[in-house]
Structure 1
């Protein structure tokens, strides 16, 4: 009898916990951003983002780790629907901490969206203007171990959405990828590229980005809750480079004119603008006039075990060991973690 009474009490307590409304965290905390996943996480995407109407919000700086470390290999695949890039490291992978993330998020994969012309290709619009293409980079919460598992959790995945603008000159960060497109024209074809560090492809930033909650629909009909992050920094490409996307074949062996989804209405959904401090007249920042230095640093795992670095970085190991002993001048130590 005592056992049955205890079970009934536990069940009643569980039901009460489920019925108890979720308390709203304090405004100004990262937890307050997470709170809105319950009501906005399954709303449709993509959206228009703009400084106008966005909620300006302060968060810690976003920190990038190991994005200067060379991967063991990088594979690029034409899935028939998109270009998918995956990389493998023999040791620790690149990851993010801080910013709007409560825990460490690990780099997962990269894919692209484009359209039938230069005026329609990006998934998101900015200030009600679409751009030729968009690069998506997914990160998942490290404790879930895989992106597949992370997608089952509201706090599991964040998608970085880099707008690709039209430009006269090619972007070196994209050129080494697009130059390999002729090798993957056919659907399900793949090739190796690089390998180069992810800092050679992804613009890095500590602040100045848009964030909102929304759904990620799958081909199987599932809808996952994820965070969508649109940086104000961008990539760029020439018209000839954008044409290379449309030369890729779809699953029916026809040129793929595009794979961008239609825009959705924001309605009452919150779009955050995190730590804005640059030019606030335009929602996207101007194209860089020169390559910007990397802001990525090595993780404690690499700094304590420099022998784990790939062989291509072996020349840095002796300098790193000196820096760890304090023998290297401070100026040289600061240079050590910047690979231009």
Structure 2
């Protein structure tokens, strides 16, 4: 089991492992560039769903392979696959926890850095992978976006069975709407070899499914023909890592008033603030479900200092006096 993984795989006993319990009161709030999602709105030519005995994996064959960049990422990351984690009831199932709360299910959309050519080779680099993670909550109503998905689960109840979508969904149809508010941290794969190569992006807004829809996942069987449930790893120590929380709220990075003399403090200072209009406009137009029109926004920071006129005059007089002395 997971408690013995470190005996076979050194990385599984590392200091930057996943999943973790995120304390929302102990995160650093940031305004990162908007996530740029390309191809998320394009329906693939073919989408296959496979029960691999550990989870349900979705692979896509698309003319436009989805990519993600921006946010905390350096470079462009290409879609590899998506899969799910769930428990045997609605009280747990997710891997990461928020404020000691587990969700009934979690979706992982896995991407590898394009310059590394494949997900396998990306495991050799500390920035090799990113995972867009979405939590699920129980809703009284079925999700229409997941209807065909849930129906296909009936065709893959046994391990190593696969099924093909009649109408392949675009990736954006399987994820949440709000792509602005998220937690992000550096972590690992949650299964062996537990490589510490993952930039995790955990979105705050959950996806809603009915109890019956989540129950369909619990009807699957593993490779031993027993119920496929509880396929999530226990949380790991946070250690020295800092979790960032991306928001579109105004953040004052530096309070210049603390460092300026009293005469300057009395002036009307526009201290070091993130320009709200630029930040909110970029976030609302780019990190939404219209990924094809997204652009990386830049944060506009404006700093103004107004010196009292008397100080300027004194400086001019001092320079003039110095010149007379020199002559």
Same topology, TM > 0.5? yes
Report the secondary structure of 1:216's partner residue: coil
Q: Is the 8 A contact 1:75 1:191 kept in 2?
A: yes
Equivalent-residue separation in structure 2 for 1:196 and 1:217 (angstroms)? 26
TM-score w.r.t. length of structure 2? 0.70
Question: Which residue of the partner structure matches residue 61 of structure 2?
Answer: 88
Question: Which residue of the partner structure matches residue 186 of structure 2?
Answer: 213
Question: Which residue of the partner structure matches residue 88 of structure 2?
Answer: 116
Runs of 4+ in 1 over 6 A off after TM superposition: none
Equivalent-residue separation in structure 2 for 1:229 and 1:244 (angstroms)? 26
CA offset digits 1:197-251 (Å, max 9, x no partner): 11111225442110111121544x4534211110112212111112111110100
CA offset digits 1:163-206 (Å, max 9, x no partner): 01111112233333122110000100000013121111122544
Q: Is residue 2:55 matched to residue 1:60?
A: no
Q: Is residue 2:66 matched to residue 1:71?
A: no
Shift of 1:147: 0.8
Equivalent-residue separation in structure 1 for 2:18 and 2:120 (angstroms)? 20
TM-score w.r.t. length of structure 1? 0.67
Equivalent-residue separation in structure 2 for 1:181 and 1:277 (angstroms)? 40
Q: Is residue 2:267 matched to residue 1:294?
A: no
CA offset digits 1:104-153 (Å, max 9, x no partner): 11111100000121111111111211111000001111111211111211
Equivalent-residue separation in structure 1 for 2:126 and 2:87 (angstroms)? 30
Q: Where do residues 76-225 of structure 1 align in structure 2 (5 Å cutoff)?
A: 76-89=49-62, 91-193=63-165, 194-219=167-192, 221=193, 223-225=195-197
Give unmatched runs, 5+ long, in structure 1: 1-40, 279-291, 301-340
Q: Is residue 2:259 matched to residue 1:264?
A: no
Report the secondary structure of 2:149's partner residue: helix
User: Higher Cα Rg: structure 1 or 2?
Assistant: 2
Q: Is the 8 A contact 1:81 1:250 kept in 2?
A: yes
Equivalent-residue separation in structure 1 for 2:246 and 2:169 (angstroms)? 29
Equivalent-residue separation in structure 1 for 2:179 and 2:102 (angstroms)? 25
Q: Is residue 2:9 matched to residue 1:44?
A: no
Equivalent-residue separation in structure 2 for 1:153 and 1:95 (angstroms)? 18
- Between the two proteins, the alignment pairs up a number of residues equal to 246
Report the secondary structure of 1:234's partner residue: strand
Q: Is the 8 A contact 1:66 1:299 kept in 2?
A: no
Equivalent-residue separation in structure 2 for 1:206 and 1:237 (angstroms)? 19
CA offset digits 1:17-75 (Å, max 9, x no partner): xxxxxxxxxxxxxxxxxxxxxxxx85221112242110112211111112111211000
Report the secondary structure of 2:155's partner residue: helix
Q: Is the 8 A contact 1:42 1:223 kept in 2?
A: no
Equivalent-residue separation in structure 1 for 2:82 and 2:179 (angstroms)? 20
Equivalent-residue separation in structure 2 for 1:119 and 1:188 (angstroms)? 28
RMSD: 2.4
Q: Is the 8 A contact 2:138 2:209 kept in 1?
A: yes
Give unmatched runs, 5+ long, in structure 2: 1-13, 251-286, 296-327
